[in-house]
Amino acid sequence: MLERWRIYQRERFPLALHGPVIAAFALSATSFALLARQQLGLPGLKPFLAAFVSSLAFFFQLRIADEWKDSAEDARFRAYRPVPRGLISLRELAAAGLLAGALQLALAFWLGPGMVSRLLIVWAFIGLMSKEFFLHDWLRPRPLLYMLSHMLVIPLIYWYDAACVGPSSREYGQASMALLLVLAAGFSSGIVVEIGRKLRAPEEEEIGVATYSVTWGIRKSVLAWNSALLLAFVFAGAAAASVGAAILTAAILFPAFALSLGCSLLYTRKPTPRYSKLMELTSGAWTVVLYLALGPLGVFFKLAAAGIHP
């Protein structure tokens, strides 16, 4: 059984790939929440650990929801995947999702009863996503609306993680505006990752797999990717400016932004398997850099500016 789960996570939820990204995500949310409240310092181990483990569980539950939602298509077109080939059953995945939920609930109570209501909100949204908001026949032919509706889960999880640092008297006003800006940056970066992981070389396309490079064509899908990248850059800059860390964030994000645009140009000119993989890796790397710039690096900058040793 352990070997079957090891193979499943390697193929469908690789911890070596997702772990660092989700850790940066959780550290960014907890750190930025303090920055928005004008509190200098990194989050403690307790809020970060709760945010990281909860986020890891959220994204694992999203993977499980996709397995259920796409089970018929996978059985028809992608028999090589773990579920249709019989490695792991949907019932086993459901049990794993419930265990992850029990861990999330325990962590929410550990942080404080107020976190339970936030957890229920995220769960409710994931449940609606798993049912495609009961609009399957209407959403499926509209890939842009389908993507945008599903990407709302990214800022929702970030909002949950930000609350792990505890309540504050500065919950509204400037702090709320800063949080809204960083949520918009996270939403846009989520689109970057979503499009980037579904760009293929023509010879890599599979029957029944609706990649963006097929649905929109390579040029239009890269244009959408670049537009989301630009929005993420702008919103991240505005969020950083709202907490007094605009210069550092721009110094970190602008080179990453320029390099990412360069990678998209390479893929557009020569859509080979090598460059399609580069687009996927670039999307993930951009997201990690953005979250680090808006979280712990922003904290270090503020501490250095205040003459405080981290």
Burial class (CB in 10 A: 0-12, 13-18, 19+), 13: middle
pLDDT in tens, 109-154: 999 888 999 999 999 999 999 988 899 889 888 889 999 999 999 9
Is 248 within a domain?
Answer: yes
Give whole-number Cα distances, 87 to 10, 12, 82, in Å.
Answer: 12, 12, 5
State mean pLDDT over 184-209.
Answer: 92
The Cα 72–Cα 216 span in angstroms is 24
Q: Which domain holds residue 33?
A: 2-305
Is 272 within a domain?
Answer: yes
The Cα 279–Cα 197 span in angstroms is 7
The Cα 137–Cα 132 span in angstroms is 9
The Cα 161–Cα 185 span in angstroms is 15
Q: What is the pTM of this model?
A: 0.90
Q: How far is CA 139 from the centre of its chain?
A: 21
Is 229 within a domain?
Answer: yes
Number of domains the chain is built from: 1
Is 310 within a domain?
Answer: no
Share of the chain above pLDDT 70, in %: 94
The Cα 281–Cα 151 span in angstroms is 19
Residue 310: pLDDT band with limits 50, 70, 90: low
- The H helix count followed by the E strand count for the chain is 15, 0
Q: Exposure pattern of 281-295 as b/e (b: 16+ CB <10 Å)?
A: ebbbbbbbbbbbbbb
281, 284, 287, 293: CA torsion to nearest 10: -70
Query: Which amino acid belongs to residue 267?
Result: Y
| Helix or strand run (H / E) with residue 45 | helix 45-69
Is 69 within a domain?
Answer: yes
Select the more confidently predicted residue: 243 or 174: 243
Place of tokens 């990204």: 21
Is 222 within a domain?
Answer: yes
pLDDT in tens, 33-91: 888 888 877 888 999 999 999 999 999 999 999 999 888 888 888 888 999 999 999 99
